Chains A and B, each alone.
Chain A
Amino acid sequence: MKILCAIGIRGGSQLVQRVLEVTGPAHELHLLHVIDVGPRHTLEHLLHGPRHRSPAPPPPLGQPPPPGRHPPPPPEHERRISEAEESSAAAALEEARLEAERAGFRCHLHSASGRPEQLVVATAEQLGCQLIVIRASEGGEGTPRLGPASVGHTARFVLDHAPCDVLLVRAQ
């Protein structure tokens, strides 16, 4: 069985652990981490939306800014942000991979950038997975364990649109 594990920024190793417990050995494991572009867009929005004394045309809401409409953020900061995103993505995937390896599993690593919920579903479709495994929410210890608030919007989207079965892993 091909299994797609949606690895979040944290908790990847717990997720893999859980998968192995539930599904047992001898499966093809795909680990996917999506770099969420949402916060980056928010940052662009905060910086280049009309900051009241730095007039610059704001990008149309919900879309990336059209090129050439306003000065891009300093390349230095762009670079640092991209590096930061990539490094944290790599760390998240590495944690999960180590857990899989410990159990003697081989796994395939995937990294992407975009809207996590959409890319998880698309990747599952692309790879022809029979199962998607996803944590209920990325929230920390403060998140409620039960009820609608315990399932984040990414998990909910995947539940609604997955082309296959979904294993929703709740926090221990």
Chain B
Amino acid sequence: MARTLLGASIFGATLLAIMVRPYRIPEAVAAALGAVAMLATGIVPIADGARVLGRQLNVYGFFLGLMTISAIADQAGIFTALAGGAGRWAKGSSRRLLVATFAIGTVITAFLSNDATALILTPAVFALVTRLRLPVLPYMFACTFIADTASFLLPVSNPINILILDGLGGGLETFLRFLLLPALLCIGLNLGAFLFLFRADLRQGYQLADLPSTEPPHIPFFRATLTVLAITAVAFVLATSLEAPVAIVALGGAGLLLVAAVVYGQLRWERLRREISWSLFVFITGMFLVVRGVENLGLTREFGSGLVALAGQSPLRASLLTAIGSALGANLINNVPMALVMVSALRSIGTTSSSHEGLIYAAMYGCDLGPNLTTVGSLATMLWLLILRRKGLEVSSVQYFKLGIALVPVMLLLGSVLLWLRW
């Protein structure tokens, strides 16, 4: 009993630290401290912890491979070229440019996962739109929104999907069966809503003459990169279809790109090292151990049973509850611990029966969409700041929140219904 309380407190304190970030400590530090506490108190025995981490090599490899691929593709000029291509295709129409931005964002998210879109495409589009003397907000928000909205098109579109699939099993076929329709619905909704909400900003056009030259710095390297990306994309589809570890494809693709970069003399080590988020690995390691702690104490099993009980006999209610709960949790705290808790809870209630299989995808859906609710980091931070009445809450954060609040609940509702219909 005391141990359970202790474990729950460590878990709670870690999540609180991630949400509120006292003394501005990075999330990675909060997670690491939580993990150390779990290990020190013996709630997670060292051997157990090592075993848990060892089982997650696929996730680590996937993250590392993907970040490297995105960084090198960026260095080759892929993202800038895509943005420029959109500018030319849209032929001076702001609306068409927004549609093109969504399209590019969707494709990049689908195969290179959402961080590539959110972190690399966004500045590329920003630069383009600034040069065209158009209002930047619609296009910036388009990139960051589509990064999450399109992130359940394929298993590889969001590392959270891989995290969940690794924990609960599942291949491309099942994934698409459940999530393809919701994904297409959400993307359509997102695009339509933006075209409507930003209609005033989209009225003015731009001059094609203002388009910058987006020639890649080194054409053969650019071509080689495109080839490797295409191969990697196909390999991802194959790997997920065969339920093979995607880390192999990600690291393989990264390796090929590194070789190409060295061969063409285009490798910038400093830049590559800087663009890979090393603290992320510390963060997820910490979270693996912290959630393992509450799992060992049986708390996630309780949570899973609670979910089943609340859902009662209604699969629709189960679907809604899981999706919405995951989304709120993912936004309130962070989508990594939320996903891990859901995996543990769902595993404890057994996922062999078909009614529970849908819950896997409902959880994935919620965790993927959740971050779109706010951009200030999380709902918690925003509420906290509003409570403290910190002046200087950027207008754009409030705008983003309004967008998120308008769109995400609708998406969650409709998507949950679609998921339920697939069971």
Chain A residues close to B by CB (< 8 Å): 9-10, 38-39, 41-43, 45-47, 49-58, 60-63, 71, 73-77, 80-81, 83-85, 87-88, 91-92, 139-143
CB of B79, distance to nearest CB on chain A (Å): 9
B131–A141 touching, CB < 8 Å: no
The docked-state distance in angstroms from the alpha carbon of A55 to that of B24 is 12
Q: Could you list some 7 contacts between A and B, CB below 8 A?
A: A43-B136, A46-B375, A50-B377, A74-B271, A80-B80, A87-B131, A142-B199
> Which residues from chain B contact A92 at a C-beta distance below 8 Å?
133
Q: Once the chains bind, are A75 and B396 in contact (CB under 8 Å)?
A: no
> What are the 8 tightest A-B residue pairs by CB atom distance, in nearest-first order?
A62-B392, A142-B200, A55-B27, A50-B377, A84-B130, A77-B123, A84-B131, A42-B396
Chain B residues, Cβ within 8 Å of A10: 133, 204
B279 CB-CB contact with A under 8 Å: yes
* Contact partners of A41 in chain B: CB under 8 A: 394
Contacting residues of chain B (3-55) with chain A, CB-CB under 8 angstroms: 21, 24-28
Q: Report the bound CA distance from A121 to B120 in whole Å.
A: 36
Inter-chain pairs besides A47-B118, A92-B133, A142-B199, 4 sampled, C-beta below 8 Å: A45-B396, A51-B119, A53-B283, A55-B27
Q: Which residues of B contact A57 (CB under 8 A)?
A: 21, 24-26
Known: A47-B118, A61-B392. A53 touches B280 (CB 8 A): yes
Within the assembled complex, what's the spacing in Å between the Cα atoms of A143 and B349? 55
| Chain B hits for A49, CB < 8 A | 375-377
Q: Closest Cβ of chain A: how far from B208's Cβ, in Å? A: 14
The yes or no answer to B229 lying at the interface (CB within 8 A) is no
Chain B proximity of A60: nearest CB distance (Å) = 8
Q: Is the CB of A9 within 8 A of B200?
A: no
Contact indicator B119/A47 (Cβ below 8 Å): yes
Contact among B124, B133, B375 with A45 in the assembled complex (CB-CB below 8 Å): B375
The interface residues of chain A lying within 8 Å CB-to-CB of B201 are 140, 142
Which residues of the other chain, A, contact B28 by a CB distance below 8 angstroms? 55
| Nearest CB in chain A to that of B74: its residue | A74
From the candidates B131, B200, B371, B392, name the one contacting A139 in the complex (CB within 8 A).
B200
Partner of B394, one of A42, A74, A141, A142: A42
Cβ-based interface call for B140 (8 A): yes
Residue of B nearest to A61 (CB): B392
Could you tell me if A80 and B396 are in contact, using CB atoms closer than 8 angstroms?
no
Chain A nearest CB from B239 CB (Å) reads 21
Does A53 lie within 8 Å of B200, measured CB to CB? Answer: no
- Check A61/B275 contact, CB under 8 A, given A10-B204, A52-B335, A84-B128: no
Query: Smallest CB-CB separation from B30: which chain A residue?
Result: A55
Q: Are A77 and B124 in contact (CB under 8 A)?
A: yes
- CB A67 to nearest CB in B, in angstroms, measures 14
Which residues of A sit under 8 angstroms from B25, Cβ to Cβ?
57
Q: Name the residue in B136, B160, B284 with the highest tally of chain A Cβ atoms < 10 Å from its Cβ.
A: B136
Given A49-B376, A84-B131, are A62 and B140 neighbors across the interface (CB < 8 Å)? no
In the complex, chain B residues whose CB is within 8 Å of the CB of A143: 200
User: Within 8 Å CB of B127, what residues of A?
Assistant: 77, 80-81, 83-84
Whether A75 and B371, one on each chain, are in contact in the complex, defined by CB atoms closer than 8 angstroms, is no
**Contact indicator per residue, chain B 316-351, by CB within 8 Å of chain A (1) or not (0):** 000000000000001000111000000000000000
Q: A71-B274, A84-B212, A88-B131 are in contact. Are A45 and B397 (CB under 8 A)?
A: yes
| Docked complex: B245-304 residues within 8 A CB-CB of A | 271, 274-275, 277, 279-280, 283-284
Contact check, A140 vs B212: say whether CB atoms are below 8 A apart. Answer: no
- Chain A residue at minimal CB-CB distance from B377: A50
Contact with A along B185-214 (1 / 0, CB 8 A): 000000000000001110110000010100
Interface centre among B21, B27, B210 (most CB of A within 10 A): B27
Q: Which residues of chain A come closer than 8 Å to B385, judged between CB atoms? A: 61
Q: Say whether B393 faces chain A, with CB atoms less than 8 Å apart.
A: yes
Q: What residues of B have a CB within 8 angstroms of the CB of A75 in the complex?
A: 271
Which of chain A's residues has its CB closest to B284's CB?
Answer: A53
Inter-chain contact A53/B26, CB cutoff 8 Å: no
| Chain A: CB-nearest residue to B128 | A84
How many Å lie between the Cα of A85 and that of B397 in the bound state? 22
Closest to B118 in A: A51
